[in-house]
Amino acid sequence: MKNVSQSIKTIGSMRRKSFPVDQKMNNLTKFKGLTPLAGFSYSKQLDIKQKRTSQILETLTDKLKGMNSSVIPDERGLPCLLERIVASPVTKGYRNTDDFSIWPGLDKNPKTVGYIMGKASNSNKIPVCLPPDDCVIVKDSHKILVSKFQQYLRNHSPLGICMDFSRGGNWRRFCVRSNDFDELMGIAILHPQKLSSKELKEEQNRLKDFFIPISQDINLKSFYFQACPGVRCTNRRAPFELLFGDEHIDEVINGTKIRITPEPFLQVNKGAAEMLYRQIIEEIEPQSDMTILDMCCGSGILAIQLAPLVEKVIGVDSCEEAIKDAKMNAQTNNITNCNFIHGTMEDYMVKISEDLYSDDLVMVVNPGSGGLPSGVVNVIRTMSNVSKLIYVSCKPEGQALKNFAHLCLPYRPNDDIQGDPFIPVKAIPFDLFPQTERVELLVSFSRI
């Protein structure tokens, strides 16, 4: 049996290699680009991710060598305490949000809905789309809705698929969201190309004629349509149009009732996310006179859980629809001490630091996979009243790792490294993505 280090090396080579795909492959092989750990026991998956997290933190130590940093590595070369990875309560069928492509499948039918994986053969450079029927991380209810949408495309829609904007075609993606009650939201997305308003309306009517009669049977509570003239569009650029059903579906996270709508970010694994939120709150050690800055706050899920424990919470997010939902969620949960701001951190960090210069602040940052811009990290460092920083990353080996190092560097004004440094105190990995190689990492920093 391979040891953990050998397993990590094997997984890395799998990720870099492009595999041909054919009908005879078993389910694990078909989806190994998406779920490369599915062939391992869950305990082995956790060991692999624990080792990977340790390697990421060792890299941080290496980055800080020779930088006169106050970070002192332990005997293992780690810059802080690394706790055991927190396991997910559910390891299969856990995803509450899926974004499927519309692309040619193994049967060469262009209207296939699923994940784009590998290549059809070594001689064919076009990747193929695999329906999620055999993918272990997708909910059965999502699979049923996807199969219905594929049936609609193949048998009812006259519109073709859009593989290249310059070559015409329309259909691009189909998204599914759900809650713990398995209530479903479908979002059909096409490129309008040269379709007239009348032709778009006709397609919307065809969708309604097909899905409304079956919506009760498959628990489809909400169905949206978006005509997006790009790769991805915000609601402001291309509005999500509600074709039928409810404007939102509801979810309860750690006792907090929240709205699920088409655009705002949503952690895909609710059970594991609840444990992550509880741990963030524990790391903050909330006090009644404390002010919390929740940067990248999304729809306010964490902020609203924190609000009863502190004096006030300020949330900032660049997604306008997320801020709208955050305000609605606060109202639903009778929260009055949250202030949610729409904008980028680059735009608002300086203003916030000026407005709150006298407050004792704790900051939570949970950016996307791209991490924080270096300018934002510099502003955080200049905010001397930030005593603690909780950084949560879904891609800690990427830009986040550079952010960690930037936070820890000593004051170097000639290199534009401003303010007093932070030191990492504790790192806790969370398995929000079983069967995949991804890991969510919480790092708690304190001010020196």
pLDDT value at position 15? 36
Q: Which residues are annotated as a binding site for S-adenosyl-L-methionine?
A: 267, 317, 366
pLDDT value at position 4? 42
Q: State yes or no: pLDDT of 68 exceeds 90.
A: no
Domains of the chain: 1-93+269-290+360-448 (3.40.50), 97-253 (2.40.50.1070)
**Mean pLDDT, residues 66-94 taken together:** 93
**Mean pLDDT, residues 297-324 taken together:** 96
Characterize the bridge pairing of strands 361-365 and 291-295. parallel
Q: What is the pTM of this model?
A: 0.91
Span 357-394, pLDDT tens digits:
667 899 999 998 999 998 899 889 988 889 999 999 99
Q: Which residues are annotated as a binding site?
A: 267, 317, 366
Q: Quote the tokens at residue 235.
A: 């609601």
Give the whole-angstrom CA distance, residue 313 versus residue 25: 51
User: Which residue bears the tokens 């608002």?
Assistant: 348
Q: Is 394 a catalytic residue?
A: yes
Catalytic, out of 129, 175, 394, 408: 394
Share of the chain above pLDDT 70, in %: 92
Mean pLDDT of the chain: 91
**Which amino acid, 224?**
Y
Between the alpha carbon of residue 288 and those of residues 87, 293, 308, 310, the distances in Å are 31, 15, 8, 4
Span 332-342, pLDDT tens digits:
999 999 999 99
Q: State yes or no: pLDDT of 263 exceeds 50.
A: yes
Q: State yes or no: pLDDT of 121 exceeds 60.
A: no
Give the strands of the sheet with 422-430, arranged side by side. 81-82, 422-430, 440-447, 386-393, 361-365, 291-295, 312-317, 338-342
Give the whole-angstrom CA distance, residue 295 versus residue 315: 6
**CB-based contact 33:117 (threshold 8 Å):** yes
Q: Read off the pLDDT band of 57 (50, 70, 90).
A: very high
